Chain A
Amino acid sequence: MTTIPQTTHASRTAGIPSILKTAVINALVALVLFSLMVGIRTEAGSDGQLTYWTRFGELASLVAVVFGGSIVIELLRQWIGPSGAERLVPPAVHTGMAFVGRFLAPALLIFALLVPVIFYNQRYILDLAILVLTYVMLGWGLNVVVGLAGLLDLGYVAFYAVGAYSYALLATNFGWSFWVCLPLAGILAAFWGMLLGFPVLRLRGDYLAIVTLAFGEIIRLVIINWQELTGGPNGVSGIPRPTLLGIPLDNSDDGLAAKLGIEYSPTHRIVFLFYLILAMALLTNWVTIRLRRLPIGRAWEALREDEVACRALGINTTSTKLTAFATGAMFGGFAGAFFATRQGFISPESFTFQESALVLAIVVLGGMGSQLGVALAALTMIGGFELFRGLETYRMLVFGMAMVLIMIWRPRGLIGHRAPTVFLTKAKAISSDLVKEGHG
């Protein structure tokens, strides 16, 4: 009895020199970095000469913070690291979480459906909800490429941009309605997805990431520089709002409010946009879930696991990769068209690498391949980001810290569990059919 606590105690104290060593190294790195960044302050003097002065006090406090922080992080890692986290959580909580997990998705869906009812008068929350749902949809779209097929795509924003510009240009130049342009935006984005797919077929991992990153930048630069078509940095404005089967949601005599004989309110359009993006996101989810149960979806997942084995099993990896890129891109294009109609104005500034990174972060944080996880991650990332608005300058810091902690405790993402799609019960039922046929 007495020896056991002693050994655990020993194993914990044995780490102290190494913890101190790590902290000292981190502090040294901080010292080198900050000595120039913070320790010396330079400014142009009155005659244009360089004046500088030292700030050793600030430097010392920063290094001290890094030293202390390293110790805290190392201690956290030792006591509540990935393996420790499992032990810390009592089994009752585990079963409770499994229970919650089963009803979480339906509960979230019902809540999402009721959001416009509950928050009807709170424009800010409705706008935020639309934003969250846009990212849920983007996350689900990218999930096909990154989560299922395992192709690291850092240029996803390119397809978002293609979708947005497709709708914006078709609507402003030809006056086509949103509902005609929506599938076109998806098809065009899918086409660009295939186009990106071809050159990167042989690439994997880091190399693929670099090429897709470049692709995202190329699309953005083309949009900026092709002024005649896209308006360049000025963007496209006056993009028509979506209509409900041709009925506009505005204050005019033909508007929905007038036809229904109710008083017009700008909130109608917001609520409509909310349900529109909700429907589009749910469609994305439904298609993905269906595809996962089909051979093509299974081939995507197998491709993520082992490309060589896939080929030996007779899977055409070329077409499998291309369909993954095209499917993911198509959903990105849909989301882009929605973005354009919601904003009424788009410019290249909306399609920077930061967007790609954000969507990728949502997919990774949610647990690659998990639909519910991606939705939760989008809610956390976009909603959480707004939540920390009160912290102003520090919000990035808090946010970054939260992400680091989540990745320490849940390295596979919020929902790392992957639900299988093939079940044996089906096989059993059909093997009895075989008996009936008698010639199988």
Chain B
Amino acid sequence: MTSPLLTIRGLRAAYGKIEALKGVDIEINPGEIVALIGANGAGKSTLMMTIFGKPRARAGQILYEGRDITDVPTHEIAHLRIAQSPEGRRIFPRMSVAENLQMGADATECTEAERDATLDRVFTLFPRLKERYAQRGGTLSGGEQQMLAIGRALMSRPRLLLLDEPSLGLAPLIARQIFDAIRVLNRQDGLTVLIVEQNANHALKLAHRGYVMVNGLITLAGTGAELLQRSEIRAAYLEGGRHG
């Protein structure tokens, strides 16, 4: 019915000779949360980075709102209202929380009123950031830094948000807060989210649909609930993880 917001077809990418993506096809519809799960080194983060043009795709297509963005320079992709909370958060440690957030808004054309409305929204989602707005980013706890990374991405008022391992290294309670915020953003603001996660259980419960990635290829696709029921997923990513 509706055309997908992001379509990836036969995407290949490599670091030197090592091919990280070997022909990936995924689709993300507007208003969806899509989870991408898989083991370490499966190419999940690479897929995310390739959408942003670093590394460049060797083959295949990335279509965003029907437009081919495969060869668009990295810094221009953010102007298309795709935002990213990168792996390892990558906040600006010596700049204050307020400045970090402002950085998210700087590169996009928006009025002051729009910016401040977005800022209010971010502070409603993550009240912790408002408390610490004058603090240096590097002095925040891991969970707060993750909130800041998401908040900074939101400041560009994206239509599509890419989240790379938002729960990495966080206490379960904090991780739950982050996932709750993502759910709220999706339900209330209609934000489309692609989330890469190791925490398959959480991610699949949150997501409408999910993809499983193994060695640079999508091996399984389905709704979040379906994937959670699959025995091979349970064995590989859920029970296996629980036993260490």
Contact = CB atoms under 8 A, between A and B. Distances in A.
A313 B104 contact: yes
B36 to A, nearest CB: 17
A146 to B, nearest CB: 14
Nearest to B87: A308
A383 B102 CA distance: 40
Q: Is the interface of A mostly helix, strand, loop or mixed?
A: helix
**4 closest Cβ pairs, A-B complex:** A314-B78, A314-B107, A305-B92, A420-B96
B74 A311 contact: yes
Task: Please indicate which of the listed interface residues A316, A430, A433 has the most CB atoms of chain B within 10 Å of its own CB.
Answer: A430
A297 to B, nearest CB: 10
Contacts of B95: 298, 301-302, 305, 420
Interface residues of B, number: 41
Interface in A213-246: none
A308 B90 contact: yes
Contact of A431 (B52, B92, B117, B152): B117
Given A308-B86, A309-B90, A420-B96, A316 B103 contact: no
Interface in B86-120: 86, 90-96, 98-99, 101-104, 106-108, 112-117, 119-120
Interface string A286-317: 00000000010011011011101111111111
A422 interface: yes
A424 interface: yes
B75 A418 contact: no
Contact of A316 (B75, B86, B156): B75
A315 B130 CA distance: 25
A421 interface: yes
Interface in A410-435: 418, 420-424, 427, 430-431, 433-434
Given A311-B54, A313-B104, A315-B106, A434 B75 contact: no
A305 B93 contact: yes
Contacts of A314: 75-79, 106-108, 156
Q: Is the interface of B mostly helix, strand, loop or mixed?
A: helix
Contacts of B98: 420, 422-424, 427
B75 A298 contact: no
21 contacts: A298-B95, A299-B103, A301-B92, A302-B92, A302-B103, A305-B93, A305-B94, A309-B86, A310-B103, A313-B107, A314-B77, A314-B78, A315-B75, A420-B134, A423-B134, A424-B98, A424-B133, A424-B134, A427-B115, A427-B120, A430-B116
A5 interface: no
A91 interface: no
A440 interface: yes
B102 A313 contact: no
Task: Please indicate which of the listed interface residues A301, A313, A418, A433 has the most CB atoms of chain B within 10 Å of its own CB.
Answer: A313
Contacts of A418: 94, 136
A392 interface: no
Interface in B150-206: 152, 156
A43 interface: no
Contacts of A312: 52, 74, 78, 84, 86, 90
